[in-house]
Structure 1
Amino acid sequence: MHILAVGLNYRTAPVEVRERFAIAEQALPEALQQLKATKSVLECVIVATCNRTEIYVVVDRLHMCGHFIRSFMEKWFQIPRQEFTNYLYIYEDDRALEHLFQVTSGLDSMVIGETQILGQMKDAFLLAQEYGATGTWFNMLFKQAITMAKRAHAETTIGEAAVSVSYAAVELGKRIFGQFSKKKVLILGAGKMSELTVKHLYANGADEVIVANRTLTRAEQLASKFNGRACSIQGGISLLHEVDIVISSTGADGFVLDVKQVQESMKKRKNRPIFMIDIAVPRDLDPAIGSIPNVFLYDIDDLEGIVESNLELRRKEATKIDAMIAKEIEAFRQWLKTLGVSPVIYALQQKSAQIHQDTMESLFKKLPDLDERQAKVIRKLTKSIVNQMLHDPILRIKEMAVEKNGDEAIEMFTQIFALEEQMEKAEAEEQRQNKAHEQTSSPEMRMNERSSAGSKSGFAWATVTK
C-alpha cells in the first residue's frame, strides 16, 4: 500500500481558484463517504480551509490512483479536471509523509509556525475517524503528526516571534513601555487591522481602550469588545493627552492628525512618551509627528520590517522541526514494517495455544485422578513453558521484520513454524466476515464499523489549511 498527498494551496492556486474547492463543514461527512467509495481508496481524511484543499491517501496501488482522485474531485466539486489539474500537486509515500508533518506543525503555512492548522488537522482526523474513513495506517499517522506538532511548538520558539502587523505593534510597544499594564489605547478608525492590534495590546495588559470613528455605531461595537468607550474622531483627538498608545487606520484621504495637534497634547501630558502606530495606506498621521520629542511614531512599513525579521527567526527554528520530522517519518516506516509480522505472531500464538489445549485434554484423560488444584498447577506450568519457548523467537522476528530483508524473514518464520494453514484460515475468515458485512449493512454502518475495528489498510484525503 502507498500514501499519497494531493492538493492545491496558496502557493499553487489563487484565491479565486481555491474558493471553488471549499467544502462546508456540514458536507464533509458525505464527502468522506464518497471518497471512501472511490476505487483503490482504503482510508481517507479531508481537511478544508481557506488557504488549501489537500487530500492525503493510503491506496492499494499507485497506478491510476491520481486519475481516480481527480475523478472524485471532478464529481464532488463539479469542476472539469482541465480547469484544476495544473494547480494540483501529488506527493507519494515519504514525500507525502513529510508534507503531512510539515502542514500539521505549521511549516507549510502562509505564516510559518502558526498553530491554527494543528487544530484544523486534528478536527479533520477526528471527523474522518468518527465516520469510519480511517483505519490502522491513518489512526497511527495522524495521531503521530498531531503529537509531534505539539511537541515542536513546545520545544522550539517558532511561535514566539511576531509575524503579523498586529503582533509587531505589540512587540514595538514592549520596547518602549516594557509592559502595557495601566496603559490607555486610542484607536482612530475601527477597521479589522486596528481591531486585531488592540486585541493583542489588550491581551497584554492595556488598561483602557477608546475607539474613535466617523460612524459612532461602529465605534461602539468595537469598544464593547474591550470594555472600552466610543467617540467621534475629533472626540478621540481631544483625548490625546490621556492616552499612551494611538493606533490609526481610518481610510481618510488626508492626514487625520497633524504636528500641531500632537504638540498641544504633549504639553498637556507633560511630555510623557506616546506610542503611535499608523497602519493606514495612505497614512493618517503626518510623518513629521515623529520628530516631536517622546513621540514614537511607526508606520506599516516599520511593522512589516519587524514581521520579516521575525519570520527569519521562525525559519531558523523550522530547521529544528525538520529534523524532528525526519525522525518521525523513520519511526512510522519502522512501525509499518511491524504490521506485517503481527498476523504471523498471532498465528503462532494461536497454534501453540491449540497444541497446549489438546495436550492438556490428552493428559487429563490419562490421569483421571488429578484433583482440580493439581490440574490447574499442571496447566499453568506447561503454559509457562510454551510462553518461554515462544518468547525469544517472537522477539527475534520483530527485530528482523524492520531490517532490510524483513519480508523474507517473515516468510521464513512462517515456514519454520508451519503457520501457512493458520494464516490461510485467518485470511479466509476475514474475507467471509467482510463479505457478510457488506451484504447486510449500509455504507455508513460499514464505515463506522471499519473505524471501530481498526482497518488494516488506509487511504486518506486531506484538505489542508494554509
Structure 2
Amino acid sequence: MHVIAVSLNHNIAPVEIREKMTFDDENLPQALKTLRHSKSILENVILSTCNRTEIYVVCDQLHTGRYYTKAFLSEWFSIKQEKFASFLTIYENEAAINHLFNVACGLDSMILGETQILGQVRDAFILAQEEGTTGTIFNELFKQVVTLAKRAHYETGIDESPVSVSYAAVQLAKSIFGSLKNKRVVILGAGETSQLTAKHLQSNGVKAITVINRTYENAVQLASSLKAKALPLTHLQEAMTECDILISSTGSKQYIVTLDIVQPLIKKRKGRHLFMIDIAVPRDIDPALDELENVFLYNIDDLQKIVDDNLTERKKIAKTIEGMIVDAIAEFDTWLTTLGVVPLISALRTKALSIQAQTMSSIERKLPDLTERELKVIRKHTKSIINQMLRDPILGLKESATEPEAKQVMETFIKIFAIEEEVAREKDKQIVSKTSTESKEVKGSRSTNKQFAEIPLRP
C-alpha cells in the first residue's frame, strides 16, 4: 500500500483557482465517502482551508491512486483536469508523510509556525474517521502527526514571536502596559489591517474598542463585526482623551493625528501614558508627537524590524522542528514496517491458544474431580507458559521486520511454526477490516474521536 498527498495550495495555485476548489463544510462528509468508493482508494482525509485544498489517500497502487484522486477533484468541482493540473503538487509515500508533518507544524503556512492549521488538520482527520474513510494506517499516522505538531509548538514556542505587522503592534502594546484587559483602544481606520489588529487586541483581552474612520459608515460596519463602538472622525480628540492606545491605519495623504489635536489633551490625561502605533504609509501621525511627555509613538518601520527579527528567529526554530519531524517519520516508518508481521503474530497466538484450549479440555476429561479453582489455576499457568515461550520469537520477528531479509525471515517463521492456515485467515480478516465501512473499528473510533478531539493546541 502507498500514501499519496495531492496538494493545491497558496505556494503555487492562485486564489482564483483555490476558491473554485474549496470543499464546503456541509458537503465534505459526502466528498469523503465518494472518494473512498473510488477505485484503488483505501483510506482518505480531505483538508480544505482558505489557503489549501489537500487530499491524503492510502491506495493500493501509486499510478491508480494519482489518477483516481485527480479524477475525483475534476468530477466533484466540475472542472477539467487541464485547468488545474499544473497547480497541483503530488507527494508520494515518505514525501507525502513528510509534507503532512510540515503542514500540521505550520512550516508550510503563509505565516511560518502559525498554529491554526494544526486544529484544521486535527478536525479534518476526526471528520474522516467519523465518516469511516480512515483505517489502520491513517488512524496511526494522523495521531502521530497531531501529537508531534502540538509538542513542537509547545516546546519551541515558534508561534510566540509576532511575524505580522498588526500582531507586532499588539505585542508592542503589551510590552508597554503588560496586561491589555482594562485598556481602552481607539482604532483609526476601517481597512483590513485595522480589522486584523482589532482581532488581535480582542484575543488579548481588550473589550473597550472604538473605531473611527473618515467614512463613518465604514467605521460602523467594522465596529459591528467586532461588537465595538463607532465614532465619526470629528470625535477623534474626544476619544483620545480617554483612550490608552491609538492604532492608526488609513489611506490619508496627510497627518490626521497632529500636535493641535493631542497637545491640549496632555493636561486632561493627568500623566496617563498614550501609546500610539502608526501602521499607515504615508504616516497618519505627526512624528513630532513623540516629543510630548508620556506619549510613545511607533511607526511601520519600528514594527517591521520586530517582524523581521522574529521571522529570522522562527526560521531558526523551524530547523529544530524539522529535526523533530525526521525522528517522527522514522518512528512511523518502523511502525509501518512492523505492521506486516501483525498477521503472523496473531496467527501464532491463535494456534498456541488453540493448543492450550485443547489441552485444558483433555485435562478436564481425564481429571473430572478437579475443582473450578484448580482448573482456573491450571489455565492461568498454561497461558503463562505459552506467553513466555512466544515472547522471544515474537520479539525477534519484530526486529527482523526492519531488516533487508525480512520477507525471507517471515516465510521461515511461518514454516517453523506451521501456521500457514492461521496466517491466511488473519490476512483475510485484515482485508475485510480495511475494506468494510461497517467494521467495528469505525464504531469503536467514536470513543477514540472524543479523546482525540480533546487534545489542545497548547497545554
TM-score by length of structure 1 reads 0.86
CA deviation string 1:85-127 (max 9, x = no partner): 1111111111111110111111111111111111111110011
Deviations 1:210-245 (A, max 9, x none): 333345565456557778654321212244343332
Structure 1 residue 448: Cα displacement: 4.7
**What is the number of residues matched between the two proteins?**
445
**CA distance, structure 2, for counterparts of residue 324 and residue 429 of structure 1:** 35
Does structure 1 residue 21 correspond to structure 2 residue 11?
Answer: no
Q: Which residues in structure 2 correspond to 1:346-385 (within 5 Å)?
A: 346-385=346-385
Mean CA deviation greater in 381-390 or 55-64: 381-390
Partner residue of 2:72? 72
| Aligned partner letter, 2:322 | D
Q: Give the Cα separation in 2 of the matches to 1:207 and 1:80.
A: 49
| C-alpha contact 1:275 1:297 (8 A) present in aligned 2 | yes
For residues 113-262 of structure 1, what are the structure 2 equivalents within 5 Å?
Answer: 113-180=113-180, 183-201=183-201, 203-204=203-204, 208-214=208-214, 216=216, 219=219, 229-262=229-262
User: 1:96 corresponds to which residue?
Assistant: 96
Aligned pair 1:393/2:383, yes or no? no
Aligned counterpart, 1:52: 52
Query: Aligned pair in 2 of structure 1 residues 72, 225: CA closer, same or farther (>3 Å)?
Result: closer
Structure 2 CA distance for partners of 1:254 and 1:405, relative to 1, 3 Å: same
Provide the secondary structure at the position in 2 that maps to 1:111. Answer: coil
- Distance across 1 between alignment mates of 2:216 and 2:103: 42
1:302-342 alpha-carbon deviations (Å, 9 max, x no partner)? 32332222111111111111111111101101111221111
**Displacement of 1:350:** 1.1
Q: Percent identical across equivalent pairs?
A: 51
Q: Does 1:342 align with 2:332?
A: no
Distance in 2 (alpha carbons) for counterparts of 1:341 and 1:131: 28
Number of the residue aligned with 1:10:
10
Distance in 1 (alpha carbons) for counterparts of 2:380 and 2:209: 76
Identify unmatched segments of 5+ residues in structure 1: 439-445, 456-466
Once the two structures are superposed, residues 273-315 of structure 1 have per-residue CA deviations (whole angstroms, 9 ceiling, x without a partner) of: 4322223344333344445565433333432332222111111
Q: Could you tell me which residue of structure 1 aligns to residue 409 of structure 2?
A: 409
Residues 242 and 428 of structure 1: CA distance in aligned 2, closer, same or farther (over 3 Å)? closer
AA at the equivalent of 1:452: V
Aligned twin of 2:437: 447
The offset of 1:372, in angstroms, is 4.5
Q: Paired residue for 2:300?
A: 300
Aligned to 2:284: 284
Supply the AA of the counterpart residue of 2:313. Answer: L
Instruction: Mark the CA change 1:44 to 1:254 in structure 2 (over 3 Å): closer, same or farther.
Output: same
CA contact (8 A) 1:32 1:45 kept: yes
Q: Summarize deviations over 1:69-97 as a string: whole Å, max 9, x none.
A: 21111111111111111111111111111
Deviations, residues 22-73 of structure 1 (Å, cap 9, x unaligned): 1101111111111111221110000101101111121112234322221111
Cα distance change of structure 1 residues 428 and 210 upon mapping to structure 2, 3 Å threshold: closer
Query: Deviation of residue 396 (structure 1)?
Result: 2.2
- Aligned twin of 2:454: none
Query: 2:356 corresponds to which letter in structure 1?
Result: H
Q: State TM-score, norm by structure 2.
A: 0.87
The amino acid that maps onto 1:79 is I
Give the whole-Å Cα distance in 1 for the aligned partners of 2:416 and 2:326: 36
3-state SS, counterpart of residue 298 of structure 1: strand
Quote the residue 1:313 is aligned against: 313
CA distance in 1, matches of 2:245, 2:429: 73
For the residues of structure 2 that align with 1:380 and 1:303, how far apart are their CA atoms?
70
CA contact (8 A) 1:180 1:207 kept: no
- Tell me whether 313-322 or 252-261 shows the greater mean CA deviation: 252-261
Bigger CA drift: 385-394 or 198-207?
198-207
Report the Cα distance in structure 2 between the residues aligned to 1:226 and 1:82, rounded to whole angstroms: 42
Structure with greater contact order relative to length (CA < 8 Å, sep ≥ 6): 1
* Conservation of the 8 A alpha-carbon contact between 1:208 and 1:228: yes
* 1: CA distance, partners of 2:379 / 2:176: 79
Give the partner amino acid of 2:437.
Answer: M
**8 Å CA contact retained: 2:167, 2:197:** yes
Distance verdict in 2 for CA 1:94–1:207, change over 3 Å? closer
Q: State how far apart, in whole Å, the 2-side matches of 1:398 and 1:60 are.
A: 24
